[in-house]
A and B are shown apart, each in its own frame.
Chain A
């Protein structure tokens, strides 16, 4: 029961956070020295047309009125009309968010599946060669620029060797599966289209690895550090003294207790993956949110920028909440009040 109350209180706080975020984003979007109407109409449009369209878009009203109108719409679940695309922002989000969620989730899985075991090996073989190799690998993830890794791998695995497909979510001669969730691989799975599923997964491998590599480095380092800390604890020595098998000591006694900071990193990284996949999305032609928000910012598409900001804020809040809830499961000492 206390957990439910905790979640409810956190959700209430989120409402305030989101209100604050809309206000800040709204003000910033309006003080930048750029004109969304000119950006929409292009350079050739005569001044009279600019003023006419400014009026049609309601951008000639006082700023506080525009904000209040926006909030009013928001309360009714209406995110407004995108200036550039001339269609509801919610429709744009419905199109671009699933692709980003699909890519980020795959990237997160890659990061966890590679990062945690590598970190464990690194800790167990501290300062010996497996640790050194893992360190170099992790360092690469956190320090190599994403676009460099992306172009390198694409050039090697697609262009030279031809073992993985090129950019995009599917090949040009493959029809996309029916739109159920908007995530191509998931939709192919749900509609039982195995050939398309295989192709979608192949297309997912490279961008997921490239995007996940950075987080892999972080998770590896965090797992190593946290596990080393725990392995020094008395209860681990006790377990070993009792004759518990080493594998069981590491996995059951040490790793579970070392997981707390790792889960925190994973939660926060997932949030940043969702909002920070621009470069990966650009190079792999992945039609996600990153690309959409960049275009929207460049063209001062205020409703679109606000919409994406809201969604990302929500995702961060939910990811943080999920991490906090997981704490209780992982560490019975933590109680929610």
Chain B
């Protein structure tokens, strides 16, 4: 990477984001699954389609001008824009799209590959499933039926970021599909290119002068500087050394709102914090009445108002606000008396004891997991359920949970691609071997409904099915959804036109600075 790529851009053209970027392990778009990479790769790589800001129900064209879907919903024909070029100057053709999809399913140890392989495209079938009949046409033939909404959402995901095949192939070593090189270099056609990534120090992007898929960005340099302590982020914001602070606590944000030089940008995250109850390992949770009792025992308002202090919003269904299929119904209000009577109905009038596994870091919305676990322990204790909280490292928690060995867990779940199927499947369909399965919860009619909705477009009929899914999950499911977190940034008023949503995050293209 040319060392001087970032030189020459002064503070007026540079936006500095103070953030903990230690999560980044690679910036290769076809592998990366970490948030810091999600803040970077969509700016560097274009995708066939992309979600417009504020509208997560239908992606709009990006590299593709238009596309057709066969009647059975299995063959997608994408027509590509002509004249699109990579930062290298190479033209973007259908071959690059084919190469990108081949890369995803062939890369070894790829945490993101399942997004594509779940559609039935794997290293064996990819050469027949993804073809380029001419330089501006890509045909994707799905080997099995797959949700059309989910399909396009995945094509809009950063993992499907189109790489410059010619450049990447020139850097392949030991059959690694160029992953070693692309981890800290870039080969995309987005508005920015990677100037420098020094692990645990900084990720720097500079404007790509060859970008021709939209207007050139006014900000020419984006720096994500690794600041792990939020109090230090706050100080850098004050000194003007950072323009945006990413990880401020609820109380820091509240204080910031009173200062004339700063503002707080917020958007509900496509995520949720939940309690999971294992219906087999804990006999009491085997009873639907007891699961409902837990949902009535929780003081949702207390959590949102006192703990999250504005960094969370109510959510009681498995499809979060912002997605098709979201349901604003409040099924449960804090009602200890009702919870007690439900416990009695379930045959556990005198209560029971359960171990709650919780992580050690922060919960969704930036509050301490320990505080939230203490609140849950307190709320459930009030109705006679004794909760023993065990805080363990995330990797230990996941091992027990994924091995169906937990009793009760407290975790968050976030969006992979903005389609309701991305939430309905893990929460409602145990055949996916995801969240429901981990809690030993299998509900055949529910599984059927989830499968049915998956294969539909966003029509009122699909909405009606998700309403049923939401109802069934609330009344019977093993998840007590605690809240939907809100993403909040502390921003200097010098930075304007900050568009912020939970899929595209900050749109650097429109950002301006005074």
Contacts and interface: CB of A to CB of B under 8 A. Distances in A.
A285 B228 contact: yes
B442 interface: no
Given A35-B399, A283-B229, A159 B109 contact: no
Interface in B100-133: 108-109, 111, 113-114, 117-118
In which size bucket is the chain B interface? 35 or more
Contacts of A49: 111, 113-114, 117
Q: Which are the 10 A-B pairs with shortest beta-carbon distances?
A: A34-B395, A39-B395, A159-B235, A34-B396, A35-B399, A287-B200, A41-B111, A287-B201, A38-B398, A47-B433
Interface string A40-58: 1111111101100100110
Nearest to B24: A85
Interface string A290-327: 01100100111000000000000000000000000000
Interface string A19-42: 000000000000011111011111
Contacts of A46: 114, 118, 432-434
Interface in A171-193: 172-173, 175-176
A154 B229 CA distance: 12
A151 interface: yes
Interface string A148-179: 00010011001100100011110011011000
A282 B229 CA distance: 7
Contacts of A176: 3, 198
A168 B225 contact: yes
B396 A86 contact: no
B14 interface: yes
Contacts of A61: none
Interface residues of A, number: 51
Interface stretch (B47-55, B236-244, B260-268, B347-355): B236-244
B113 A155 contact: no
Contact of B402 (A32, A47, A96, A175): A47
5 contacts: A45-B114, A49-B114, A95-B199, A151-B229, A298-B395
Contacts of B202: 172
B157 interface: no
A246 to B, nearest CB: 47
Contacts of B395: 34-36, 38-39, 298-300
Contacts of B10: 173
A56 B108 CA distance: 8
Contacts of A299: 395
A285 B201 contact: yes
B273 interface: no
Given A285-B225, A285-B228, 10 more contacts: A35-B399, A39-B395, A40-B109, A49-B114, A155-B235, A168-B225, A172-B14, A172-B223, A175-B7, A295-B22
A300 B235 CA distance: 33
Contacts of A47: 402, 433
A39 B394 contact: yes
B374 interface: no
Contact of A287 (B109, B117, B198, B229): B198
Interface in B285-315: none
A251 B256 CA distance: 55
Contacts of B89: none
Contact of B241 (A35, A172, A300): A172
Contacts of B362: none
B254 interface: no
Nearest to B179: A86
Contacts of B199: 85, 92, 95, 287
A9 B284 CA distance: 65
Interface of B: 3-4, 6-7, 10-11, 14, 16, 22, 25-26, 33, 108-109, 111, 113-114, 117-118, 179-180, 183, 198-202, 223, 225-229, 231-232, 235-236, 238-239, 241, 392-396, 398-400, 402, 411, 413, 416, 426, 432-434
A87 B399 CA distance: 24
A71 to B, nearest CB: 23
A85 B114 contact: no
* B contact face: mostly helix, strand, loop, or mixed: mixed
A196 to B, nearest CB: 13
Interface in A214-258: none
B398 A43 contact: yes
A158 B235 contact: yes
A43 B438 CA distance: 11
Contacts of A87: 180, 183
A158 B3 CA distance: 28
A49 B198 CA distance: 29
Contacts of B201: 168-169, 285, 287
B180 to A, nearest CB: 7
B109 A33 contact: no
A162 B22 CA distance: 27
A11 interface: no
Nearest to A165: B241
Contacts of B118: 46
A299 B223 CA distance: 26
A139 interface: no
B456 to A, nearest CB: 23
Contact of A38 (B4, B6, B232, B402): B402
Contacts of A45: 111, 114
B355 to A, nearest CB: 14
**Residue among B202, B238, B426, B432 with most chain A CB within 10 A:** B202
Contact of A35 (B198, B229, B398): B398
A124 interface: no
A101 interface: no
A120 B411 CA distance: 56
Contacts of A162: 239
Contacts of B183: 86-87
A172 B398 contact: no
A173 B11 CA distance: 8
